[in-house]
C-alpha cells in the first residue's frame, strides 16, 4: 500500500518541493519504508514506499529512466513474465522490482502497456521530453487514484487528504452527499464527496498536458460475449499453472463440470500470482465462502501453514467462529482470531475516520480495522475474499441485470431473424 502524489502546473509555473513533501507526509502511513520527491520545473512527484518486491534501494521511487519518471502504487503480478519479454526485446534492468517493469513497459508499448498488466495498480509517468503526465488505474479500481483540477493546476494522490490540505478545497459535492444520506450509496466511478475532486475511473488512463486532459478507457467487459472470447490464454502473459484447463479448450456451450474446472484453474492461478512477495503474506478468514476459498487455495500452493486473521463476535447471531475453525482445521493454518466487541470503538473512531477519508455504507469497517491491526504484527501482505459476491453474482440484483441482458439479446436475435425472413420472401 504505497502512497503516490503529484502536482502539474499546466501554465509552466514551477512546483515547490514543500508542497509535494506535505502531500507525502499526509500519506506517510501508506509507506513506512522510504519516501522521496522528484521535481522538474512545472511538475513534482511524490512517493511513500511499502516494500513488497525487491526490498533493496532498487525499488526506491520516484524512479527515472531515459527521461521518464514514475510514481507507482500496487503490484503487477505478471511482472516476471513481462520482464522476460522485455529482455528479449533488448531492455536491460537494474533492479528486481515490478516498478521498473512497469516503466520499461511504458517505454516499449506506450499507453497500451496497461493492457498487458495483470494486477492492481495506480501510477503516473512524467515524460520530460513531451511534457506530459500519463496516469493509469487498474481494471477493477482496486488501487485508488484521486485528482484535483482547478484552472491550470492538476494534482493527484492516493488519498483525498493529500488534496484537501488547503481549506478552500473542502467544499462538499451536494449530489454525492444526497445519494449517501438518502440511499447509503458510496460507490462511484467518478464523483467524490468534494467539488473539483474526482477519481480516475477503473480501467482508464488519463493524459495531462498543457493542452488539457484526455481520458481513455482501455478495458471493459461485454456481458453478451461468450466465455470463449472472454479470457483467451496468454492475454496478460499469465504463467501456466498445473490446474489450468488445457490451452485452447474453450467449448462454446460448456458443461457445468467444464465451467467449474475452468474457474478452478483461473482461481488457483490468481491466488498463486498474489503469493509472489519478498515479505510475509497472510490472508483474512471470515468463515464465508470467499475468504475460505482463498485460504484453501493458498494452503495448497505454499509449503508452510498459512497465517489467517479472523474477526469473531461475542454475539452468536453474528459470529462465524465455527466455520472459521472448520477451515483452520482442514487447512492447518496458523490462526489469529480477533474479538470485535465494539467496546473500544469510541477510542479508535477518530483514527478510522482519518484513515478512511470518506464514509462507508456499513459498520464492517470497525471489524476490518481490528483484523488489520493484528495482521500488521506478523505479515505485510494480506489476501482477502472481498469482491467475490460482485464477481459471482452473490446479490439478487445481479440476476435482474442478467435477465435484462438476455432479453436484449433475444430482441436483437428476433430482429435479425425477421430480417432474414423478409429477405427470403423478396
- Annotated active-site positions, please? 2
For residue 184, what is its C-alpha cell? 447509503
In angstroms, the Cα distances linking 254 to 240, 249, 401 are 21, 10, 22
Cα(159)–Cα(156) distance, rounded to whole angstroms?
9
Q: Annotate 107-139 with three-state secondary structure.
A: HHHHHHHHHHCCEEEEEEEEECCCCEEEEEECC
Q: Please, which residues bridge with residue 191 across strands?
A: 198
C-alpha Rg value of the chain to the nearest Å? 23
Element (H, E) at 101: helix 98-109
| Residue carrying C-alpha cell 433475444 | 410
Q: Return the ∠ at Cα 224 (arms to 222 and 229), rounded to 5°.
A: 70
158 neighbors 145 (Cβ within 8 angstroms): yes
Name the residue among 221, 219, 261 with its Cα closest to residue 241: 261
Partners of 122 in beta bridges: 73, 137
* SS3 at position 6: strand
Amino acid at each position: 500500500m504505497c502512497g503516490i502524489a503529484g502536482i502539474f502546473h499546466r501554465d509552466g509555473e514551477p512546483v515547490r518541493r514543500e508542497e509535494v513533501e506535505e502531500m507525502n507526509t499526509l500519506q506517510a502511513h501508506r509507506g513506512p519504508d522510504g519516501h522521496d520527491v522528484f521535481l522538474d520545473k512545472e511538475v513534482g512527484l511524490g512517493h511513500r514506499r511499502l516494500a513488497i518486491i525487491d526490498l533493496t534501494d532498487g525499488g526506491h521511487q520516484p524512479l527515472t529512466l531515459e527521461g521518464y519518471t514514475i510514481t507507482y502504487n500496487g503490484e503487477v503480478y505478471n511482472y516476471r513474465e513481462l520482464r522476460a519479454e522485455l529482455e528479449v526485446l533488448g531492455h536491460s534492468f537494474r533492479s528486481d522490482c515490478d516498478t521498473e517493469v512497469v516503466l520499461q513497459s511504458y517505454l516499449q508499448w506506450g499507453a497500451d502497456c496497461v493492457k498487458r498488466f495483470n494486477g492492481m495498480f495506480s501510477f503516473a509517468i512524467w515524460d520530460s521530453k513531451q511534457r506530459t503526465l500519463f496516469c493509469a488505474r487498474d481494471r477493477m479500481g482496486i488501487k485508488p487514484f484521486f485528482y484535483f483540477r482547478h484552472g491550470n493546476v492538476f494534482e493527484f494522490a492516493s488519498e483525498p487528504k493529500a488534496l484537501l490540505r488547503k481549506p478552500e478545497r473542502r467544499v462538499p459535492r451536494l449530489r454525492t452527499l444526497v445519494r449517501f444520506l438518502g440511499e447509503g450509496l458510496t460507490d462511484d466511478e467518478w464523483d467524490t464527496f468534494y467539488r473539483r475532486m474526482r477519481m480516475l475511473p477503473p480501467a482508464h488512463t488519463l493524459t495531462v498536458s498543457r493542452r488539457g486532459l484526455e481520458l481513455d478507457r482501455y478495458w471493459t467487459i461485454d456481458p453478451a460475449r461468450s466465455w470463449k472470447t472472454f479470457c483467451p490464454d496468454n492475454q496478460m502473459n499469465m504463467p501456466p499453472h498445473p490446474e489450468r484447463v488445457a490451452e485452447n479448450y474453450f467449448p462454446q456451450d460448456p458443461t457445468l463440470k467444464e465451467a467449474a474446472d475452468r474457474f478452478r484453474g483461473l482461481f488457483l492461478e490468481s491466488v498463486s500470482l498474489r503469493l509472489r512477495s519478498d515479505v510475509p503474506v497472510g490472508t483474512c478468514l471470515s468463515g464465508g465462502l470467499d475468504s475460505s476459498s482463498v485460504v484453501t487455495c493458498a494452503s495448497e500452493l505454499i509449503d508452510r501453514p498459512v497465517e489467517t486473521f479472523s474477526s469473531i463476535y461475542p454475539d452468536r447471531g453474528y459470529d462465524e467462529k465455527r466455520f472459521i475453525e472448520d477451515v483452520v482445521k482442514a487447512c492447518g493454518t496458523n490462526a489469529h482470531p480477533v474479538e470485535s466487541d465494539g467496546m473500544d470503538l469510541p477510542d479508535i473512531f477518530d483514527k478510522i475516520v482519518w484513515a478512511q477519508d470518506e464514509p462507508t455504507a456499513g459498520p464492517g469497517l470497525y471489524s476490518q480495522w481490528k483484523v488489520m491491526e493484528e495482521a500488521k504484527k506478523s505479515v505485510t501482505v494480506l489476501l482477502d475474499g472481498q469482491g467475490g459476491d460482485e464477481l459471482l453474482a452473490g446479490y439478487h440484483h445481479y440476476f435482474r441485470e442478467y435477465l435484462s441482458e438476455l432479453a436484449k439479446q433475444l430482441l436483437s436475435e428476433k430482429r435479425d431473424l425477421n430480417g432474414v425472413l423478409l429477405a427470403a420472401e423478396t
